[in-house]
Amino acid sequence: MDTSKPHNIIPASLKRNWTQLIKAEATRLGFMSCGISKAGFLEEEAPRLENWLNKNYHGEMSYMANHFDKRLDPTLLVDDAKSVISLLLNYFPSQTQADPDAPKISKYAYGQDYHHIIKSKLKELHYFITDHIGEISGRAFVDSAPVLDKAWAAKSGLGWQGKNANLLQKQSGSFFFIAELIIDLDLEYDSITTDHCGNCTACIDACPTQAIVEPYVVDGSKCISYFTIELKDNLPSTMQGKFDNWMFGCDVCQDVCPWNRFSKAHNEPLFNPNPDLLDMTKQDWEEITQEVFSKVFQKSAVKRTKFSGLTRNINFLKE
């Protein structure tokens, strides 16, 4: 035995076995993809993020300017972080809203709030790793902490960031959630994939508010999702007639993306909508009451905008 080697050097074969074990469990838990990358500073993302913030593309989302260093370096979020495990969970629905004239809700918000569902799955994955590999420290992240999830997913080989800034996969498009488990365990790392947007500008051409200011750069403060979810003040009159009938979120840049023709319906029962939601007519939405709102969106992410916010958006569409 070579005693000159540090005791914590892990044989490549063991790292490979651990990696395969983790990916198999991620599949069992229902994740559509799992990729792993080495935890470290995101050098390429740093100037992009700084430039994006300097141009105020985050609008009134002040939290985006917080924890700049942590957004770029997972070792500041998890002590001695070694690996970022990125996971994708499909949410593409089998059915959409029935009335073509009804105000629209982004597909990701049809079912129960994804934060809770995915966090539960990540905890299970963490328990599994601890049970089968050893006492591993780590943290789970689901769109609620300073983590650049799309950058890490791309770095983990799960796809590329398209011209609409969403993560895209050739085999399944972009209708999926992204989450991470950052742990202090060395694993086998995946390779970055290539960009397959080519000369396509479908998302840029279709954006109702011209929020995609240049390929791969989105002005968040012009996005319909920002207006209908993040903005708490009155909606600006300059946006009148530009919301394409969206009352919560917006799927336009995903709906027109050629890669989303490969999207397949999810098989997560908790993402299925309240039966009433898809059948509500334009008139139903315009006459919605607090009682109906509470029933239809009992465990939904739509609750984030509150009844007052949703009715504000619906009224804006009527004006």
Rounded distance between C-alpha atoms, residue 56 and residue 62, angstroms: 10
The crossing angle, in degrees rounded to 10, of helices 114-132 and 12-28 is: 140
Active site residue 219: no
Per-residue DSSP letters for 80-106? T--EEEEEEEE---S---S-TTSPEE-
Catalytic entry in 143, 184, 186, 195 = 143
Report the Cα 40 to chain-centroid distance in Å. Answer: 21
Please return the burial class of 73, using the count of CB atoms within 10 Å of its CB with bins 0-12, 13-18 and 19+: middle
The single residue listed with the structure tokens 């508010």 is 209
Q: At a CB cut-off of 8 Å and minimum separation 6, what does 128 contact? A: 22, 25
Rounded distance between C-alpha atoms, residue 254 and residue 250, angstroms: 9
Instruction: Tell me the backbone φ, ψ of residue 275, rounded to 5 degrees.
Output: -55, -30
Rounded distance between C-alpha atoms, residue 107 and residue 250, angstroms: 8
Which residues is 33 bridged to in the sheet? 88
CB–CB of 179/77 below 8 Å? no
- Residues annotated as catalytic are 143
